């Protein structure tokens, strides 16, 4: 597998925010979101080649029971099922962080943390924008993920204007437990996070959806957490 980095930190987002976890960041993502904070993990060949066994061994060097497999986009990695199986066998709780663009049956993770990409993520470059728009949202895949996995849905909110698109996306997916939906501010730095948090908090109060912290930005201010 192509690994961008393996490190120990606090889970920054979602219902498990604050839980110490080992992060396995796989390389490769086709989406190229405008505000992506892990652009260094876009290119698959930028990662170092690891066997599944070596990843598990590296994860086990840390006592944490919680493992977050992230990216890039981990759900496009052909060896992901084998990695999840081996991590589960070693007693780990596994969260997969995904944009929700691919479904793998019977994956066996503990939490599918899905962050569907809204139009606010579309890159400015026309060529990248075309690829992005083509693959950023697949409602059928999102339905399969939420119907078959323990999940949370996290939307990145750039402005108040994103709310109708979020509501439309939830309506199209259907059958979403609103208690599992979270909104989080679009931000690359601590200052941006603090500036946008009141706006997102207001939307959360208005809709009854939960606010997701982004501890990695609050703590490391846009620097890599390692």
Residues that bind ligand SF4 (CB under 6 A): 29, 31-33, 36, 38, 71-73, 99
Close Cβ partners of 181 (under 8 Å, ≥ 6 residues apart): 152, 153, 154, 155, 170, 209, 210
Contact 100, 144 (CB under 8 A): no
Q: How far apart are CA 180 and CA 13, in angstroms?
A: 13
> What is the rounded end-to-end Cα distance, in angstroms, of the chain?
21
Identify the CA nearest to 24 among candidates 35, 64, 15: 64
C-beta closer to ligand SF4: residue 55 or 101: 101
What sign for the dihedral angle of Cα 23, 40, 163, 147? negative
Distance from chain centroid for Cα 25: 11
Q: How far apart are CA 118 and CA 72, in angstroms?
A: 17
Q: How far apart are CA 20 and CA 41, in angstroms?
A: 22
Q: Shortest Cβ distance from residue 208 to ligand SF4 (Å)? A: 26
C-beta closer to ligand SF4: residue 6 or 31: 31
Q: Shortest Cβ distance from residue 28 to ligand SF4 (Å)? A: 9
Q: Shortest Cβ distance from residue 205 to ligand SF4 (Å)? A: 26
C-beta closer to ligand SF4: residue 86 or 131: 131
C-beta closer to ligand SF4: residue 88 or 220: 220
Q: Shortest Cβ distance from residue 149 to ligand SF4 (Å)? A: 18
Contact 1, 83 (CB under 8 A): yes
Q: Shortest Cβ distance from residue 72 to ligand SF4 (Å)? A: 5
Q: Shortest Cβ distance from residue 33 to ligand SF4 (Å)? A: 3
C-beta closer to ligand SF4: residue 41 or 203: 41
C-beta closer to ligand SF4: residue 21 or 122: 122
């Amino acid at each position: 597998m192509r690994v961008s980095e393996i490190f120990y930190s606090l889970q920054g987002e979602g219902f498990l925010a604050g839980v110490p976890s080992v992060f396995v960041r796989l390389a490769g993502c086709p989406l190229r979101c405008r505000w992506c904070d892990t652009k260094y993990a876009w290119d698959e060949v930028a990662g170092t080649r690891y066997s599944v066994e070596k990843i598990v061994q590296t994860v086990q060097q840390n006592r944490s029971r919680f493992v977050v497999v992230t990216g890039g986009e981990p759900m496009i990695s052909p060896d992901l099922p084998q990695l999840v199986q081996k991590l589960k066998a070693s007693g780990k709780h596994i969260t997969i962080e995904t944009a929700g663009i691919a479904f793998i049956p019977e994956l066996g993770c503990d939490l599918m943390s899905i962050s569907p990409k809204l139009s606010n993520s579309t890159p400015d470059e026309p060529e990248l924008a075309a690829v992005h728009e083509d693959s950023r949202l697949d409602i059928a895949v999102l339905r399969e993920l939420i119907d078959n996995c323990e999940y949370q849905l996290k939307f990145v909110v750039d402005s108040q204007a994103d709310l109708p698109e979020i509501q439309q996306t939830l309506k199209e997916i259907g059958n979403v437990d609103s208690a599992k939906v979270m909104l989080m501010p679009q931000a690359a730095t601590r200052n941006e996070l603090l500036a946008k948090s009141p706006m997102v908090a207001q939307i959360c109060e208005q809709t009854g959806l939960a606010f997701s912290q982004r501890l990695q930005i609050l703590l490391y201010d846009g620097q890599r957490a390692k």
